[in-house]
Amino acid sequence: MGLVNMDSIEQNQDIGSPIRLYDMELSGNCYKIRLFCGLLNLKYQIIPVNLFKAEHKQPAFLQINPRGQIPVLDDNGRLIWDSAAILVYLARKYADEQWLPLAAESMAETMQWLAMAENELLYGLARARAAVLFNRPWNLAECQALGGAGLTVLEQQLQKHDWLAVGRATIADVACYPYVVLAPEGGVSLDGLPHVQAWIARIQALPGYVGMPGIQISTV
């Protein structure tokens, strides 16, 4: 496995697939979906959306997602926006309960970490990365502090457990992994977080794992 496993990404792309992903390669939110498709061995085709050209704010795209964000999944004409909702959709549609258990306690446990992914990790780590890489106008120190608080909670959890929820890999891990592993791009170090790093290695060893540009931590 190299730093960026582009071969695997390409293996999951199929221009004949009825599943289409509105995507930009550098987006960690889009990567959540590419990663999960890899883990599910699900073929899809990519429809590139260039955020730098603000294609996601054009009227044509706002018809597809009124929030003006990527990723969006088009499954044979059914449109689903939001990365967490897409993970839930794919888990329910194309996998058994392995990736999203349905029992109240187990589902809630999984959802707790999806919430972490949309809060501390997105408004902390992802925004810090966007401030550094893409010059977005966020308060970098504030974002780094929020992201760091999230990482502390993850480290505590992963000190006691191999996976974030229910004792196995679930969409909780898929949702949290991208902006954690990309955190150094936003100036947030993963040094001193050995259990987070061990979890990163476990994810990278999952069958079907795919990488993305910018992942600096790799076990091989």
Contact footprint for its own copies (CB under 8 A) = 66-67, 78, 80-86, 88-89, 92-93, 102-105, 107-109, 111-112, 114-116, 118-120, 122-123, 139, 149, 152-153, 156-157
What are the angstrom distances between the C-alpha of 113 and each of 50, 106, 119, 164? 29, 12, 10, 7
End-to-end CA distance of the chain: 6
Nearer to its own copies, 85 or 198 (CB): 85
Nearer to its own copies, 16 or 66 (CB): 66
SS3 of 214, please?
Answer: coil
SS3 of 73, please?
Answer: strand
Cβ 115 to its own copies, closest distance in Å? 4
Beta bridge partners of 45: 20
Cβ 211 to its own copies, closest distance in Å? 25
CB atoms within 10 A of CB 113: 23
Cβ 49 to its own copies, closest distance in Å? 18
Cβ 92 to its own copies, closest distance in Å? 4
| Parallel/antiparallel/unpaired status of strands 19-23 and 45-48 | parallel
